[in-house]
Amino acid sequence: MRRVNFTHANLQRANLIGADLRGACLAGADLGDARISGAKLEAANLERAILVGADLEFAQMTKTVLRQVRLRGADMSGVNLDGADLREADLREVNLRGAYLRVARLDGADLSAADLRDTEGLVRAQLAAAVSLTDTRLPTNLSAEE
C-alpha cells in the first residue's frame, strides 16, 4: 500500500499491523483505535489525522508528517519518530516509552500526562517548544524545570 491515498478515510479500528504505508497520504483520516503496530509509515502524511487510542507500537515513522494529529491515549512505545513533524499535535496521555525522537519537531505539542520515560534522542529544546508538560513523565536525564 505504498503511496496509497487514504485522505479523510474512515479507518476506525482498522487492522494495519505491519502494513507498508511508506509515503502514504492519510491526512485527515480517522484511525481511532486502529491497530498499526509494526507498520512502515516513513515519510507518510498524517496531518490532522485522528489516532486517538491507536496502537502504534514499534511503527517506523521517520520523517512522517504528524502536524495537528490527535493521538490522545495512543500507544507509541518503541516508535521511531526520527525527524518526524509533530507540531501542534495532541499527545496527551500517549505512551512513548522507548520511542526514538531525535530531531522530532514538538513545537506547540501538548504532552500532558504523556509517558516519555526511556525515550531516546529527546533533548530539552524539544520539550521547551511543547505547549504543555503537565504531569508528563520524563526520562531521568531530562527535567521539566530546566
* Ranges of each domain in the chain: 1-138
In angstroms, the CA 36 to CA 24 distance is 14
Q: Are 54 and 36 in contact (CB under 8 A)?
A: yes
Q: Are 98 and 116 in contact (CB under 8 A)?
A: no
CB atoms within 10 A of CB 22: 18
pTM of the full structure: 0.93
Q: Are 103 and 122 in contact (CB under 8 A)?
A: no
In angstroms, the CA 50 to CA 34 distance is 10
pLDDT per residue as tens digits for the range 2-32 = 999 999 999 999 999 999 999 999 999 999 9
Backbone angles phi, psi at 20, to 5 degrees: -95, 100
pLDDT per residue as tens digits for the range 55-83 = 999 999 999 999 999 999 999 999 999 99
Which CATH class name applies to 1-138? mainly beta
